[in-house]
Structure 1
């Protein structure tokens, strides 16, 4: 990935030299041309373009913001109702993530979402113990985390 960024910056600088315009807009145009060239020649250079990781990271950030808003609305609804009708509990969440960074990122995203809190990890870091404010179905909570945060993390890190 570092080689791709270096190639892209080199293409942008070469573009600036060829056009004799040393402005930010000229650099930006060269950078976009570099991204397009790397995309076109990705088969010959035997790598996946790094820009796809940036897009995957942006998707993960937007997904987190969406889940944060939904969770805030759910917690506010629980607080506003006169009678608390919550069903709190602790679930064991089995994860397919491999590295410590991935598991830590997942735990952070879950903890930062209102209504959920990662309490502990198993010794092999393959199971997270999550306290959730309202459990309708254990399977639904696990599937929700797998389909959102874990899937997004795997897109960024793979």
Structure 2
């Protein structure tokens, strides 16, 4: 009846946290959680396979460092205002990644780093459209994403 019990329990708890605890909200939350669990089961997501799981702490460390560095860079752009000209723009990055889980992790990494946003993935060309707040050199960004994140994700997931 519950193909994803942890998901169902989490959804019920979140429902109650957002709507308050009453018997009616509990029943409604349970119904929503069961339906969401059935919906998730019908999607049948593939279980992620980590070939080199021991590289995950390295990835997390790199991402946390980049997030901290980007926060400082974005804050300096915002605080200096118009004193320094910066150019924001869109760019495409060709990817070699094919694993859906690795692509999802890369999307989270790029979007969680302040100043960048993952906008669109083209599966036919295997390119991603990214918006960068301070786009000085497109090629530098391509190299950064491919060598810093994509290469490590390919080691972990493929």
Secondary structure at the counterpart of residue 52 of structure 2 = helix
CA-to-aligned-CA distance 1:78-98 (integer Å, 9 cap, x gap): 011141522000001100101
Cα distance in structure 1, aligned partners of 2:152 and 2:97: 11
Residues 46-71 of structure 1 show CA distances to partners (whole Å, capped at 9, x for unaligned) of: xxxxxx82320110010110111111
**Other-structure match for 2:57:** 58
2:89 equivalent to 1:89 = yes
- Asked if the contact 1:103/1:125 (under 8 Å) is kept, the reply is no
Q: Secondary structure at the match of 1:85?
A: coil
Q: Residue in 1 aligned with 2:77?
A: 78
Can you give the 5+ residue segments of structure 1 that lack an aligned partner in the other structure?
1-51
More RCO (CA 8 Å, sep 6+): 2
107-116 or 84-93, which deviates more: 84-93
Q: Aligned equivalents of 2:120 and 2:156: distance in 1?
A: 24
**Aligned pairs, number:** 108
Shift in Å, 1:125: 6.4
TM-score w.r.t. length of structure 1? 0.63
User: Please, what is the CA RMSD of the aligned residues?
Assistant: 1.8
- After the TM superposition, list the runs of 4 or more consecutive aligned residues in structure 1 that deviate by more than 3 angstroms: none
Structure 2: runs of 5 or more not aligned: 1-50
TM-score, L = length of structure 2: 0.63
In 1, distance between residues paired with 2:104 and 2:121? Answer: 10
Greater Rg by CA: 1
